[in-house]
C-alpha cells in the first residue's frame, strides 16, 4: 500500500492560546516524492479540513483554545490514512 508523506509548516499564532493557528504543508508520495492533488487534510477533533491544491499544498486555520497540539488526518484514494500531531508551541 502506498503511504503519504507530509511536510508540516507551522504558521504564527501559536503563542496565544485563543488565537487561531495556521497549519500548512505539502502532501507527497513517500516513494516518489510526487505532490498529491486532492488529499483531504482534516483536524481529527473538529472535522474542519481542506484538500491539497494542484501543487500538493494545504493550509488550515484552526482554533487552538489552549491545546498543546492539533491532531490532523490525511486521506487519499489508494493510500494508507496518515495521522500526525502539529504542535501548538
Domain ranges of the chain: 4-81
Cell of 83: 495521522
Residues 6 or more apart in contact with residue 15 via CB below 8 angstroms: none
Any bridge partners for residue 10, and if so which?
A: 23
Residue 83, pLDDT score = 93
**Domain at 4-81, CATH from 2.60.40, 1.10.472, 1.10.3470, 2.40.50:** 2.60.40
Cell of 30: 513517500
Residue 12, pLDDT score = 43
Long-range (24+ apart) CB contacts under 8 A made by 52-56 are 52/26, 52/27, 55/26, 56/26, 56/27, 56/28
Q: How far is CA 43 from CA 1, 33, 80, in A?
A: 23, 24, 17
Per-residue pLDDT in tens (0 to 9) along the chain, 89 residues? 566 655 555 444 444 445 677 888 899 999 999 999 999 999 988 899 999 999 999 998 887 777 778 899 999 999 999 998 877 65
Residue 63, pLDDT score = 78
Amino acid at each position: 500500500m502506498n503511504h503519504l508523506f507530509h511536510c508540516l509548516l507551522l504558521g504564527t499564532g501559536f503563542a496565544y492560546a485563543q488565537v487561531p493557528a495556521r497549519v500548512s504543508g505539502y502532501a507527497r508520495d513517500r516513494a516518489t516524492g510526487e505532490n498529491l492533488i486532492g488529499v483531504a487534510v482534516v483536524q481529527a477533533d473538529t472535522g474542519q479540513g481542506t484538500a491539497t491544491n494542484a501543487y500538493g499544498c494545504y493550509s488550515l486555520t484552526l482554533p487552538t483554545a489552549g491545546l498543546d497540539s492539533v491532531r490532523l488526518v490525511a486521506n487519499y484514494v489508494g493510500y494508507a490514512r496518515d495521522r500526525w500531531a502539529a504542535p501548538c508551541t
